[in-house]
Chains A and B, each alone.
Chain A
């Protein structure tokens, strides 16, 4: 059964509100959403990816804003920078023990908790819908992104 256009609009507005609420929760827990994203990123990567340029590429920004995000995290004691042993001109960013501890307050964990309480079919449908939504939004800039999950996709 498909929803009416009015109800679809309501779903879109609720999704927008959910995103805002998660962002607000992140602020309440002491970090800007971009800083939460960066902290999560540095906890996951290593080597050349664990650099300001790596973060800039990941967040779709330039070195300037990424550098300011790293500086803010350093000032809060959540990441440290060390010289890359393979390239002295580059600095590797690593989360501090306090940074890793802070990730336990990651606002995404609240979403995990809410999703865990949903029924199995709701979780699966929500996951599939969000995957499609994220890929559709990214495909506005790069249509080939929609190919990510397409079995037997054409060469491009």
Chain B
């Protein structure tokens, strides 16, 4: 059985590395990119991506804008898990509520545990 292909989007290389390492160790295939523009490119190239895990506040475009754009395209059914931190520009509850209002599966609050990441990803893939 082919493992699920997950696209990770975050402008912080440490987050890309750590989240990617956990997901690869959990048996998933991972593509990691630093911004929304690159994420759109990967989505256009790969037709087997089954989940997006995206940061919210990034320099080029926010994860919620990316999510909103996906809803209006052919990728509308693709589950999206957002990641945000308590030091972010918008409070966690506001970010999570707006994310879920726009169709996010869930919002992980950084720093999150390996178990939390695995559980949310597994649940999102079953959606």
Contacts and interface: CB of A to CB of B under 8 A. Distances in A.
Interface of A: 37, 40-41, 44-49, 54, 57-60, 127, 131, 134-135, 138, 142, 144-145, 147-153, 155-156
**Chain A contact residues: over half helix, strand or loop, or mixed?**
helix
Interface size class of B (residues with CB under 8 A): 20 to 34
26 contacts: A44-B93, A44-B96, A45-B92, A47-B112, A49-B86, A49-B92, A49-B109, A57-B86, A58-B86, A58-B91, A58-B92, A58-B93, A60-B91, A135-B98, A138-B90, A148-B62, A148-B65, A148-B90, A149-B64, A149-B98, A150-B61, A150-B62, A151-B68, A152-B65, A155-B59, A155-B60
B94 interface: yes
A155 B62 CA distance: 10
Contacts of B96: 44
A138 B91 CA distance: 10
Interface string B77-110: 0000000011101111111101001100000011
Interface of B: 56, 59-62, 64-66, 68-69, 85-87, 89-96, 98, 101-102, 109-113, 116
Closest 7 CB pairs of A and B: A49-B86, A47-B111, A151-B69, A45-B109, A54-B86, A151-B65, A57-B86
Given A58-B86, A148-B62, A131 B101 contact: yes
Contact of B89 (A44, A142, A155): A142
A41 B110 CA distance: 13
A57 B84 CA distance: 13
Contacts of A40: 93
